[in-house]
Structure 1
Amino acid sequence: MADEDQTTDTPKTDEAKPEGGPNGAAQPQQMPQMQVLGQFIRDLSFENVAVQKGRAMEGQPDISVKVGLEAKKRSAEGQYEVAVKLNVTGKVKGADEPIFAMELDYAGVFAISNVPENQMHPYLMIECPRMLFPYLRRIVSDVSRDGGFPPLNLENIDFVALYRNEVTRRMQAETGQQKPS
């Protein structure tokens, strides 16, 4: 039978393959790996302004949440510290005076591998805060409740949109500075 005599140039699975894959092409990257080594509150402040000033909270609350992110490399190889900074202010709709103010700086230490250097910044600013968010949300809920208000359940934060907005803002700031006056 002619079909049995045909040979192919495909290597057998137990044969050694050339370094870098066929024709010297780069091997596909391994999947990124992240391990949370620790989480902690760096700073927490809660002020119940309404009680301090002797005012009763009347009306519908208006909650403002500002989010900031920081990331830095640690001295250990492949370790990074990422912090989510929240500034939460509650006011009664139509009033200027806050009824409460909360500042929370919550950080995590991560071991990260198999992420290309050009993708590390977005990875740190998107994936790491996503891992921290459920814990941060719980702290905000507990502290607002313990501070005398109904528990504040934060909406999900879209860290991808937050990152894109910051990149756009920085690009606009750079192009605005480079224009001759």
Structure 2
Amino acid sequence: MPAAAETGDDAFRALVAEFADANFRAKEALAERMLATGHPRVRDVLTALLEDRLFERERDARIFVVESNDERLTAFQLLDPASLDPVEAVAADLLRRIITNNRLRRFLRGTIARFSLSSADPGVRLEAARELLRDLDEETIDLLRRRAQVETNPDVAYELETALALEALDHGYPAVRVAAVETLSGRLNPVVHN
């Protein structure tokens, strides 16, 4: 592995390690800092945190992603957060889960979706657009508008158009609202019907 990649991985692991002692608000800030690194495993680590699969190994306080957090397992397979390579299997009682709360989980869902909207994989972008559709705020709308200008996949473009039309329903101009209703008529997305 090139030295620069190793240094980037080490810095990423150090950032992930900060989750061990962080309160919920600090975990939000850590997630934002992780995004700024552009590390290829950001989405995986944030998803693991969201899914209660981020654990601290008690003997050395290192943080790992686990393959499964099934409570019936007596041991969890630890994965290196920077590479997702298997490290070792450890007894569940020798690990401490990095906890979340409802607010942090909601934040993580939106953060992961925003990050995923720029993925090279259209399927990942599609899921991100659908997730962002559930909680439209100014920042999200701005992000969706920018993505809509460059989106080439018709399915993703359709979801982006749906989200932007929903936002337009709250616009003060009648002509804009009428155009939004026309765009949304016949769409099957449950968010449209709510």
- Normalised to the residue count of structure 1, the TM-score between the two structures is 0.22
Q: Which has the higher contact order (CA 8 A, sep 6+)?
A: 1
Bigger proportion of residues as helix: 2
**What TM-score, normalized by structure 2, do the two folds share?**
0.21
Q: Return the index of the structure with the highest Cα Rg.
A: 1
